[in-house]
Structure 1
Amino acid sequence: MDNRIEHVLNELKTSLGLKKFVLHTYSLSQEVSAFGGFDILLSADWLPPAVEIPEEDDLLPDGTVSVRYSLRYQQLLLATTQGERSFAEALATSEEQFIQWTEQQTGLDFEDDFILTNRSETAIEGAVIHNGIPVQTDGFLELEWDESGRLLFCTLPLVVTKQFEEVPFSLTLEAIESLVREQLTPIRLPIEDEARFADYFAIDEVFITQDRTVLPYFTEEQSAEFSSNVLQWQTSSKYEVNQQTIHPLLRELSPDEAYSVLAHPENRITDETVQRCVQSATAFLSAKLPEESGEWEVYRILQQPNSIEVVCRKIDETAGPLRRKLVLMLHKDTYELLNFLDSIEMAQLFEGFTQALVQTISQEEAFELMVDYITLDPRYVYHQSSGIYKLCGLLDAEECVDAVTGELKQLNDL
C-alpha cells in the first residue's frame, strides 16, 4: 500500500474507534469540487472483528464502517455503519464530547462557527455560521451514536478557509429589482395525474453578491463557462461519431494518479477551450441536425474528471424536461466527441401528454403577482475566483405563477 494512503487510513481508523477492525477495501476517485478544480475522494470499508470476509458480490456484513475522506482538504466527510449495531470503540459519553470530536474533525468552533439546529439523546444536527449568518457548505452536519457512545453515522461539512467578507448585508429586493426580474423565468412542467403540460413563472434560485454579481446555486458551477454561443453552419458536415464508453466520474485512480491531480487540481475553462468546444459542437450538430443551423446554442461548458462536458440546448424553448438538450462529452485534450446524451429520450416518457395552453400572463404581470413572495436571505457563499466566502443574498421563492390563469401555486406541490 502507498505510504501516503496508509497514513491517512491509520488516522481515520484511530479517530473512528476502529482499532480492532480489518480494512476490507479502499479506492481513490476524482470529482469536481465546490471550491474550484478537482478533489480526490478516499473511500474505504472496514470490517468488524471476527467476521468472515465477504466475496466480491456479497453484501457487507452488519457492523461494517464505510467512510469518505477528502484528500485535497484532509477531512472526513462521511462515516456510516452497516446495520443498526456498531462494534467500534466508544468515542464519547455525552453530547458535549461529540461536539468536541466534531470540532477536532472539522477545525470549526462550536457556537462561533457552527450551531446545533436539532438534537436528541443520541443525535445532533447543525449548521455552519459566521457572525450568525448561515454559510453555504459542501455537506451537512449530522451525527448519530448508540447508547454506549459508538458512532453510527456522521456527515461533516467542509469549510476550506476562515477568510470571510466582513461587510454589512446591504442588499434589498428593491435595490436589485432588475436582477430579480431577470431570474423570474418561464418553466414547463408535466402534470402527471392529468397527463398534460403546464407553464409557470418561477424564480431561479441563485446567490447575488454585494456588488450585484449573480452566482449559481450549485457552487461547483462557478467553474463552468456559460457561453451562449449560437451554433451556425452553412453546409452540413459528414462528422462521424464513434461513440465510446466514458469512464465513470468516480473511476478508480492509483495513488500516483491521485496525487498528480492534487498537485494541479485546477479545472478552469479558457477562451481556447470555449472556442474548441464550439467548433466540435458545430461539427457534430451540423451532421446530426443539418437543417437546424442557428437554432442551437452552447449553454454550459464544464471540465469533468475524464472529459469536457458541453451542454447544447435549443434556443427559445421553454425550460423544463421537454426542452431539447444535447450533452456532449469531449476528449479533454483533443476535443474529439467521445459520446453524447439526447434529452429527446426523456421527452418520450411524456408521450401522449397534452401540450401546454397558450400563455396569457406576461412576465411583468407574473412579477407583480410574485413580488410579495420573493425572499432575499443573507448567506455566506464560497467564491472560487477570490478564494473567500462572500456575503450574498439567496434569492428564492416557494411559489410560482400559472402562466395561463395567473394563479399562485406552491412549487413543491407540482
Structure 2
Amino acid sequence: MKSLNANIQQLIDQAKAKFGLEFYYLKRHSFHRYVNMFNETIYTLNMEWFPSHEAESEDDDLNPDGTAVIEVNLNTGQIESVIFVMDKTYAQHGVTFKRPYPAHIIQWIEQETGLIYGEHFHMHQEEKGELSFEEAIEGVQVTPSGSIEVKWNEHGQLMYFTQHGQFLAKTLLKAEEYTLSLDKLENLAKQQVQLFQWPSFEHNRIRSIYALEEIYVKNDGTGTLPFEIGREETHCIHMNEVMEWNESINNAFEKKEMDIQENISAEQAFSLEPSPDSFPISKKEQAECIKAVRTFLAQQYPKDTGKWVLKTLYREHGYIDAILKTNGQEGSGFMDKIKVFIDASSFEAVNYIDKKEMFQVCGILSPSQATSKISVSQTEAFEKLRERLELTPIYVYDEVQKQYVLCGKLDCHDGVDAESGEVVPLQDI
C-alpha cells in the first residue's frame, strides 16, 4: 500500500501535469469534507498553486492573479473544480480547447467526468467563453440537479471548471408516465396561496402579499414534497414542538464565537472517515436540543412563551441547527424564523440568527413599520392568480423512497397585493 504522503504527492503531480503548471509552485494544500444529500461524506484535496515569478505576498490570504486553485474529489479521484484567479493563466501545455468550442469542451467534460452528454447532462446556457450544463432526463428537469460550468479565454485556455452534485438521477429513477394537470390540483393550489408580509423599503412599511408557496406534487398521487430539496430538508428531523415556559431566566443569552473550520488529517481524508454531520440525532439528543432551545428562548425572548415552534433539527459544521418558526406562522411570514446553533457535545445554544432582527440591524426593516391593511380575501386572491398558475414536470429526489420520482412543480410568478387587490410580479416586490 502506498503511504499517505505518496498518495498526496501523486495527486499533486497529476494536477501539475494535467493543468500545465510548470511555472507554478504549490503554495499550500488542505483537506476538506462535506456531507452530501445522500448522507455520504465527501473528502476533497484543495491545492493553491502560485505563479513562480510572484514574490511572497504580505497578505497570506490573498492569492495573486493567475493563481490556480484546484480541488480533487478523493471519493472519486475526479477534479471537482479548477479556478485561475482573475481569469489569468501562466499555464504551459495545460487544458486548451480547439474550435468548435461546444463540441470539444463537451468531449473533454465526458473524458473528465465519465458522464455522457445528452444522457446525464444537457446544455443549460451558452455565452461567449462560457458554457453551463445541468442534469436532465429526456428533457425533464431534475432536483437536486448536478451542474457543470466551464469558462475559457480567447486562446481557448481553460479558466474555470466546476462540477457540483452527483448526476445520479438516471440510475435512481422511478420511471412513469406524467399524468398531472392543473385542474386536478385546484384545491391544493388554493391551499398554497398564502399571505406573506414583505418589507417595502420605498414606502417604509410592511406590505401584505398573497403568493403561492411553491410545492412539488407527486405524479403517482401519494402526496407532495417540499420545494427546497437539499441536505437540510432530506436529513432533518421534524420536531413540531411548541416552545413554552413558565418563568424567564435571569441571566441574558450571550452569543459565543462559532468555529466551523475543521482540521482534517490525511488519514481521515484517505480513509473517508464518516463526518459527525452524517450521524443520526438520537432521541436522547433530540430531548437535550429541546431543552437547549427552550432555555435560549426564555433568556432571549422571555415574553414569547407559546409563540415559537421548534420545526426541525439537523447537523451542520459540527453543530446541531434548530429551525424555529412562529406558531401558525402569523405575523411577518417569511421573516419570522430563528435558527439556533447548538453545541453537539454540551447541548448548549451558542449562537442564533433571527431573520427579522437581521433585517432591522441592516436598516432594511424598522420595528415601527406599519403593516398594510388587508382588503382582499384569500379566495379572491386565488381567483386572480388561477390563470397564472404553472405546473411543470420535474424529477425530485424522495428521501423515503431513496430515488427520483416524477412530480409536477406547482408555481406562480405573480402575487396579489392584499390591500389594493393589484396583481404584481413577485420579482418586482
Please give the TM-score of this superposition, normalised by the length of structure 1. 0.87
| Larger displacement relative to structure 2 (32-41 or 403-412) | 32-41
Asked if the contact 2:143–2:229 (Cα under 8 Å) also holds between the matched residues in 1, the reply is: no
Closer, same or farther in 2 for the Cα pair 1:75/1:34, shift >3 Å? farther
Does 2:399 correspond to 1:394? no
Q: 1:169 aligns with which of 163, 175, 178?
A: 178
Matches within 5 A, 1:292-307: 292-307=304-319
**Residue of structure 2 in register with 1:194 after alignment:** 203
**Aligned-residue offset at 1:189:** 1.0
Q: 1:314 aligns with which of 312, 318, 326?
A: 326
**Residue of structure 1 in register with 2:125 after alignment:** 118
Does 2:376 correspond to 1:364? no
Q: 2:267 aligns with which of 234, 252, 256?
A: 256
Asked if the contact 1:119–1:125 (Cα under 8 Å) also holds between the matched residues in 2, the reply is: yes
> Structure 1: which amino acid aligns with 2:21?
L
1:217 partner SS: coil
Asked if the contact 1:114–1:126 (Cα under 8 Å) also holds between the matched residues in 2, the reply is: yes
Where structure 1 has 5 or more consecutive residues not aligned to the other structure, the ranges are: none
**Residue of structure 2 in register with 1:407 after alignment:** 422
Matches within 5 A, 1:75-224: 75-88=78-91, 89-94=94-99, 95=101, 96-120=103-127, 122-137=129-144, 140-161=147-168, 162-210=171-219, 211-220=222-231, 221-224=233-236
Does 2:29 correspond to 1:26? yes
CA distance in 2, matches of 1:269, 1:173: 39
Q: 1:377 aligns with which of 392, 399, 404?
A: 392
**Aligned-residue offset at 1:99:** 0.8
Superposed CA RMSD in Å reads: 2.9
Asked if the contact 1:91–1:149 (Cα under 8 Å) also holds between the matched residues in 2, the reply is: yes
CA distance in 1, matches of 2:201, 2:141: 36
**Aligned-residue offset at 1:3:** 4.4
1:294 partner SS: coil
**Residue of structure 1 in register with 2:69 after alignment:** 66
Deviations 1:243-267 (A, max 9, x none): 432113x444333344576436624
> Structure 2: which amino acid aligns with 1:382?
Y
| Larger displacement relative to structure 2 (302-311 or 61-70) | 61-70
CA distance in 2, matches of 1:122, 1:345: 38
1:283 partner SS: helix
> Structure 2: which amino acid aligns with 1:186?
L
**Aligned-residue offset at 1:281:** 1.3
**Residue of structure 2 in register with 1:231 after alignment:** 243
Deviations 1:309-328 (A, max 9, x none): 112233242345652x4322
> Structure 2: which amino acid aligns with 1:400?
G
| Larger displacement relative to structure 2 (346-355 or 188-197) | 346-355
Asked if the contact 1:205–1:394 (Cα under 8 Å) also holds between the matched residues in 2, the reply is: yes
> Structure 1: which amino acid aligns with 2:191?
E
Asked if the contact 1:134–1:378 (Cα under 8 Å) also holds between the matched residues in 2, the reply is: yes
Closer, same or farther in 2 for the Cα pair 1:23/1:380, shift >3 Å? farther
> Structure 1: which amino acid aligns with 2:70?
V
CA distance in 2, matches of 1:16, 1:24: 16
CA distance in 2, matches of 1:320, 1:312: 12
**Aligned-residue offset at 1:209:** 2.8
CA distance in 2, matches of 1:215, 1:14: 45
1:54 partner SS: coil
